């Protein structure tokens, strides 16, 4: 996105609003080093101690032979598994440092690792909200609306899970409708939930059909990303294990993310919570490599804390900032791509939602996060996907992207001729140097209102939330369903119909 | 602010709300290097060209002999002054790299330069606003209320100018009431406006009396900070020059800040606006050193841009971020303390005000800003000081300060015993390690509302702005006027009475 290309790039006016073009974003800023190497050593060492002495429970008997074969110590008659540090080092080293996640259209492929920074739509909210319809449990119509908005917004690069749970669909077949909608309504890479073997196999099949691949074609590249949340502390659930067992041999991508809320599921210190997170992430990634060496696995960090007085989870706090940055230091020492999130605990799209999100995003930038999950839409600690918050977050992502643009310092940009022309006491409004840059000189906001107070009041004193609502509607109006080969579409529909007749996940 | 001291530090409950203690904040993060050294060279070179070829107008004949004596070339019969690069280098090198700005109470002294980060109250707004009384031109009562709030808030360290203009006071004597109020109502360092000789001399006298000093005592340390805004492009106004001529011999501090809005008072490119800012700042600082070598001078950056479609100024944008970070690179190469600001263009304390301010503050952190002017309260591009925004900004400053705290990684904080105790599948709510940290483990927000949606709705769905309003009132209730020696107070009152009888600034 060099400055001299912006004129062209800014031509994208989907939704009647200027937006930055889709791009593989590269973060040029050196990661912040909050901990010294000896302190990182101490966290590595603590994680090794946890893995060697305490171990994790793997809550599926299917995992145990894989773990045994990989060199882990399975406690007889139990699901408790301990890992020597050499076993962890051996297997984690097999995960790729960088990889591509493929989209239905190659133009939407994204890279993981290195300086790549990928932004995904909010995921897994039980509720949704917007100014017009209020806060409510999600429906499939809401789900589809969010997918369409995510497809239209260039800043959104991955569907990171169901933006909202379609509570009106029967649970056993919901995944069939949702995975089909991802592939039909959008062309960007998709997530599938590792909630048991059946759901993940169905998702794999739908992506295979939608992308027009055979089994070998599917296994050639990662095309599904699946979040593997450990059940902290120190457990990996059966449904997650089943997903991993199916995804790894097909070379698909998992993001092993302990949800280590400090003071609840992890110690009430940043260092302690990170030690536990680190142990769980390394164990999960080692296990994934034991299933299929070289399958792409991302180091996920989700360490925040609970408010000790109320037990409420807190997000976008100084603790979150520090945990996010340090987790990046840990991930990079293990040469793993790194995931964190754009989160907040606000109940509406007010100043709190903005500054907590900004702290999260700043942490993602400073921490060298490669995959920013929940990058757009997250509200209420994850209980709501907000239509307005999606647009607000896209504003923030666009601003961050522009901060990262290279700065041109040359004769033309230094503008000495213009400074000579204007001279002391003049102004630049009519200078040739200014007029040549009239249209695309500066950041054009989606929702920031820069009118003076009087004009703003005459317009009804709209808040940023109201502007975001209007923008969201305009972007939705501009949505066009991307073309999908009729044969592929028919194959998906046939598959979904058959699987529904079979009962979906009930038939597992 | 090491973690193990937080228990003690959090005991400050002024205003019924926990706040961080007053502290000299050190920014431990390495400054971001947005430009390469050769690009910085190019900006230096462009500034030299401007100073050598175009020059600046110094709009007071008093400046010209000083400039001539310092080696600058004054165009005969004109106020146009050109500076050779050697002259600039010679004089700017005489400004101190670090210094202390003294307060009425030594506990409130602040450091400039190095890793110091000083936050000052919003300044120079013509209007003020709060939820209760709405938006209105400022009065002296509003002025005093803001000063009291600034004194109570530990995150606010300097009164950086009139938080709001007391429009109900006569202009010629207004400065007497305001400078007296700063010294009587607060103990933190103060600003005085360089709006002509009389006002600055009166301010110096009031500080001298209030701090109990004689002339030599006053000149021993900087106790007044004064912003010198160049009248961009390339002019320095007479009243500013008069202030500099009085402040420098008394060893007081100026912050030379070109207000270079890209596209209006400076070229419509970041590089061009920075070249012009750099030329103006270096010329102003060199002039200050010519008056009195060694007088403390701060490099001020205030490069943002206008919205090219409407002409409205924009703040907290990507351009602002980049100009702020690069200005820090420039200031540090000249070994000068560096000033920027916490700004936004929002009309209310909504999400926009928060994210534009966060972009500004993030830029200040990444740019190694030493003096954050307008750190608390700025709204509407500087046209309003908002009661609620002050508290919101203090929340942000406190969060930033906590992100900067050193992280303890030791046996105790790693908590392996707690992880052993809890084991796979347990929780940490009742663990001894958690209970020992119950009260002070994590960031305690001033206004962030972490309740769940139902509790929040039952409480009337308060926004962050409403919480900030309640907090502000509580902090104001907790204000206690600091003791001031009766003889000093009487001396100030006598001085102010006499100067009012003389007509104040009219008598100059």
Annotate A268-295 with DSSP letters as a single string. SSHHHHHHHHHHHHHHHHHHHHHHSTT-
Q: A481 CB contacts (<8 Å, ≥6 apart)?
A: A148, A184, A185
For chain A, say whether B333 makes contact (Cβ under 8 Å).
no
> In this predicted model, what pLDDT tens digit does every residue of A362-391 receive, in sequence order?
999 999 999 999 999 999 999 999 999 999
- Chain B interface includes A266 (CB < 8 A): yes
CB contact B134 to A (< 8 Å)? no
How many Å separate Cα A37 from the centre of its chain?
A: 28
Per-residue pLDDT for A1 more than 90?
no
Which of the 8 DSSP states describes residue A381?
A: G
d(CA B468, CA B446): 8
Tell me which residue in A34, A317, A383 faces B442 most closely, judged by beta carbons. A317
- Which residue in A377, A428, A438, A443 has the most chain B C-beta atoms within 10 A of its own C-beta, making it the best mutation to test that interface? A428
Average pLDDT over residues B231-238: 98
- Which residues of B fall within a CB distance of 8 Å from A353? 351
- The verdict on A392 touching B (C-beta cutoff 8 Å) is yes
* Chain A residues closer than 8 Å to B326 by CB: 407
- Residue A129 in any domain: the answer is yes
Is there a domain that residue A207 lies in?
yes
- pLDDT given for residue B507 in this prediction: 53
Q: Which of B271, B275, B347 sits opposite A449 (nearest CB)?
A: B347
What pLDDT sits at residue B440? Answer: 78
C-alpha A177/C-alpha A385 separation (Å) is: 19
* CA–CA dist B45, B37 (Å, integer): 12
Whether A461 maps to a domain, the answer reads no
Res B9: pLDDT: 40
Q: For the segment A401-419, what is each residue's pLDDT rounded down to a tens digit?
A: 999 999 999 999 999 999 9
Q: What is the CATH number of the domain that holds A308?
A: 3.20.20.480
Structural domain includes residue A82: no
pLDDT confidence band for A6 (50 / 70 / 90): very low
- B66 in reach of chain A (CB within 8 A): no
Interval B298-305 mean pLDDT: 96
Does any domain span residue A312? yes
Q: Is A318 on the interface with B (CB under 8 A)?
A: yes
Asked, for residue A478, whether it belongs to a domain, the answer is no
Q: Quick one: A117 exposed, middle or buried, by C-beta within 10 A (0-12, 13-18, 19+)? A: buried
CB-facing half-sphere around the CA of B160: CA atoms within 13 A: 27
Residue A180 CA neighbour count, 13 Å, CB half: 18
Predicted local confidence at residue A327, as pLDDT: 98
Q: CA-to-CA distance for B352 and B322, rounded, in angstroms?
A: 19
Q: Check if the beta carbon of residue B39 is closer than 8 Å to that of residue B128.
A: no
What is the sign, positive or negative, of the torsion defined by CA atoms of A154, A160, A166, A170?
Answer: positive
Q: Is the pLDDT of residue B8 over 70?
A: no
Give chain B positions within 8 Å (CB) of A321. Answer: 399, 403
Secondary structure class of B363 (helix, strand, coil)? helix
The verdict on a CB contact (< 8 Å) between A351 and B322 is no
Q: Whole domain around residue A229: which residue ranges?
A: 8-30+93-397
Residue A37 lies in a domain: no
- Kindly state the tokens that stand for A190: 């998709």
**Hey, is the C-beta of B10 within 8 angstroms of any chain A C-beta?**
no
- B404 contacts B2 by C-beta, under 8 angstroms: no
Question: For chain A, how many structural domains are there in total?
Answer: 1
pLDDT at residue A13, rounded to an integer: 43
pLDDT tens per residue across span A33-44: 999 999 999 999
- Would the CB atoms of B276 and A419 count as touching at under 8 Å? yes
| DSSP β-ladder status, A134-137 and A384-386 | unpaired
pLDDT mean over B50-62: 98
Tokens describing residue A286: 């080692």
Mean predicted confidence (pLDDT) in A161-184: 98
- pLDDT average, residue stretch A45-57: 98
Looking at residue B439, what is its pLDDT? 76
Whether the upstream peptide bond of residue B422 has omega within 30° of 0, thus cis, is: no
Length of chain A: 508
ipTM: 0.96
- Give the distance, in angstroms, between the CA of residue A231 and the centroid of all CA atoms in the same chain: 20
A328 touches chain B (CB under 8 A): no
Confidence of residue A17 (pLDDT cuts 50, 70, 90): low
Flag whether A99 is in a domain: yes
Residue B51 tokens, joined: 């100073």
């Amino acid at each position: 996105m060099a400055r001299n290309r912006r004129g062209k790039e800014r031509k994208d006016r989907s939704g009647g609003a200027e937006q930055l073009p889709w791009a593989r974003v590269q973060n040029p800023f050196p990661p912040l080093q909050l901990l010294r190497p000896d302190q990182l050593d101490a966290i590595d060492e603590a994680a090794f101690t946890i893995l060697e002495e305490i171990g994790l429970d793997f809550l599926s008997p299917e995992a145990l032979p894989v773990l045994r074969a990989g060199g882990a110590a399975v406690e007889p008659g139990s699901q408790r598994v301990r890992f020597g540090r050499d076993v962890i080092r051996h297997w984690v080293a097999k995960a790729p440092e960088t990889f591509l996640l493929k989209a239905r259209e190659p133009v939407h492929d994204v890279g993981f690792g290195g300086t790549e920074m990928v932004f995904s739509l909010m995921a897994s909210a039980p509720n949704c909200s917007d100014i017009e319809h209020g806060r409510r449990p999600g429906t499939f119509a809401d789900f589809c609306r969010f997918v369409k908005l995510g497809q239209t917004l260039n800043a959104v690069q991955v569907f990171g899970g169901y933006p909202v749970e379609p509570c009106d669909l029967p649970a056993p077949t919901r995944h069939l409708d949702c995975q089909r909608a991802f592939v039909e309504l959008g062309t960007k890479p998709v997530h599938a939930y590792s909630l048991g073997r059946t759901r993940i196999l169905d998702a794999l099949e739908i992506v295979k059909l939608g992308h027009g691949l055979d089994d070998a074609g599917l296994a050639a590249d990662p095309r599904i990303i699946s979040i593997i949340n450990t059940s902290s502390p120190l457990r990996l659930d059966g449904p997650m294990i089943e997903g991993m067992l199916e995804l790894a041999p097909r070379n698909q991508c998992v993001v092993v993310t302990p949800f280590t809320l400090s003071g609840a599921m992890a110690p009430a210190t940043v260092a302690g919570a990170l030690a536990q997170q680190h142990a769980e992430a390394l164990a999960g990634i080692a296990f994934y490599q034991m299933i299929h060496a070289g399958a792409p696995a991302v180091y996920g960090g989700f360490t925040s804390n609970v408010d000790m007085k109320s037990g409420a989870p807190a997000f976008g706090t100084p603790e979150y900032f520090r945990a996010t940055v340090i987790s990046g230091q840990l991930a990079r020492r293990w040469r793993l791509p790194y995931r964190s999130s754009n989160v907040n605990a606000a109940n509406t799209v007010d100043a709190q939602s903005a500054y907590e999100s900004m702290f999260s995003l700043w942490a993602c930038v400073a921490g060298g996060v490669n995959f920013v999950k929940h990058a757009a839409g997250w509200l209420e600690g994850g209980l709501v996907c907000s239509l307005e918050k999606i647009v607000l977050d896209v504003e923030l992502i666009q601003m961050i992207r522009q901060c990262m643009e290279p700065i041109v310092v040359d004769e033309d940009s230094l503008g000495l001729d213009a400074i000579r022309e204007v001279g002391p006491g003049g102004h630049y409004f009519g200078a040739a140097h200014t007029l040549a840059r009239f249209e695309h000189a500066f950041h054009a906001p989606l929702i920031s209102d820069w009118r003076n107070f009087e004009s703003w009041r005459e317009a009804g004193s709209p808040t940023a939330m109201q502007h975001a609502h209007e923008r969201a509607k305009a972007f939705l109006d501009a949505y066009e369903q991307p073309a999908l080969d009729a044969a592929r579409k028919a194959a998906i529909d046939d598959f979904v119909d058959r699987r529904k007749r079979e009962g979906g996940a009930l038939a597992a």
